[in-house]
């Protein structure tokens, strides 16, 4: 009788499914033997489960349906619900997905507090879902059940927004770390490019203006990330790995430098099309530097410059 439960109780490993089954047996009022077996199994299964998960912090088991949820001390969250209404089953699955995203995106010693907050939110939502499922299984009035289901769905939506905030915050931090890591090699490349321009392309280019435009554009890209982070406008895909987020951030200053070079050549094309020449005066360098910063700070500015340069080079172009 119940061989898998006894085996898990004596030898382990005990899963959350075993715990839910044991609690269901303990509540069986029609079978005294099954109820006694459930009461005997619960502490032993809990011990086996706690051994594997550093302990049990919180747990809830439904009385009228097969379901429950548990928060372990290793910050893993478990839940089971296979009873109607389907809206609650969907809500339980949604919370499970959120927990997986949180455990994936909030890994590391420096984000322990954020992971604790996310798992606490998820467990709270699962508890609300289980209470609503229990109410539905108890034969309560349909209006009461509908109200409980709506309340559970609303709480799940609130919890999702809270966990998304935590994940976005960490994703932004990883991205910004990458930006800072990418600044130094970008400026090294800018210096090397400036030296090459001075040695080989001095007749065709203005090296000081080119370096100013590229360097200021990389700086503008970095400032743009900081400004968007402070305003909350920077949105990062938190489902990607930490390494991917850092690498994407590391490329941001380099992309800004490319826009700076683009701004320099766009301005140069406009100046030459107007019949003038670009000099190395401080005012001229300053103009290229400002244009480079604007191009790095805003990609839209660089696009607009390209369109205007095209019209200068080809006036017939609409």
pLDDT tens digit sequence for 174-207? 999 999 999 999 888 888 888 887 778 777 677 7
User: Is 189 or 280 the better-scoring residue by pLDDT?
Assistant: 189
Residue 73 contacts residue 49 (beta carbons within 8 Å): no
Proportion of the chain above pLDDT 90, given as a percent: 40
Dihedral angle sign, alpha carbons of residues 265, 267, 270, 276: negative
The phi, psi pair for 83, rounded to 5°, reads: -125, 150
Write down the H helix ranges in the chain.
3-10, 16-26, 32-53, 86-105, 112-137, 142-200, 207-231, 242-273, 282-297, 299-313
User: CA 119 to CA 100: how far, in whole Å?
Assistant: 10
Q: What is the pLDDT of residue 272?
A: 43
β pairing state of 67-72 and 77-81: antiparallel
Q: What is the mean pLDDT of the chain?
A: 85
Q: Which pLDDT band holds residue 312 (cuts at 50, 70, 90)?
A: very low
Residue 204's pLDDT is 65
Q: What is the pTM of this model?
A: 0.77
Q: SS3 for 15?
A: coil
What length is written for the chain? 318
Asked if pLDDT for residue 317 goes beyond 50, the answer is no
Closest CA to 247 of 181, 315, 155, 151: 181
Report CA Rg, the chain.
31
Is the CB of residue 265 less than 8 Å from the CB of residue 225? no
pLDDT tens-digit map of 145-175: 999 999 999 999 999 999 999 999 899 989 9
């Amino acid at each position: 009788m119940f061989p898998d439960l006894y085996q898990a109780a004596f030898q382990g490993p005990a899963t959350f499914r075993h715990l839910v089954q044991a609690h269901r047996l303990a509540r069986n009022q029609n079978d005294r033997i099954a109820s006694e077996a459930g009461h005997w199994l619960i502490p032993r299964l809990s011990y086996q489960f706690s051994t594997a998960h550093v302990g049990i912090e919180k747990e809830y088991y439904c009385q009228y349906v097969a379901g429950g949820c548990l928060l372990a001390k290793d910050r893993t969250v478990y839940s089971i619900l296979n009873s109607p209404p389907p809206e609650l089953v969907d809500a339980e699955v949604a919370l499970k997905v959120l927990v997986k995203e949180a455990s994936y995106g909030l890994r590391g010693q420096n984000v322990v507090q954020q992971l604790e907050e996310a798992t606490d939110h998820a467990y709270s939502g699962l508890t609300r879902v289980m209470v609503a499922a229990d109410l539905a299984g108890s034969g309560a009035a349909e209006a009461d059940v509908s109200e409980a289901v709506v309340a559970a769905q609303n709480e799940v939506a609130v919890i999702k927004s809270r966990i998304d905030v935590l994940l976005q915050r960490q994703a932004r931090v990883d991205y910004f770390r990458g930006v800072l890591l990418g600044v130094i090699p970008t400026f090294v490349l800018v210096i090397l490019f400036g030296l090459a321009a001075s040695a080989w392309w001095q007749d065709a280019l203005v090296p000081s203006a080119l370096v100013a435009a590229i360097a200021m554009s990389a700086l503008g890209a970095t400032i743009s990330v900081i400004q968007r982070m402070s305003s909350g406008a920077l949105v990062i895909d938190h489902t990607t790995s930490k390494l991917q987020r850092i690498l994407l951030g590391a490329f941001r200053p380099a992309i800004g430098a490319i826009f700076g070079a683009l701004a320099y050549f766009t301005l140069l094309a406009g100046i030459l099309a107007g019949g003038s020449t670009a000099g190395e005066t401080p005012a001229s360098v300053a103009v290229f530097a400002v244009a480079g910063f604007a191009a790095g700070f805003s990609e839209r500015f660089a696009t607009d410059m390209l369109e205007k340069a095209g019209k200068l080079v080809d006036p017939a172009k609409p």
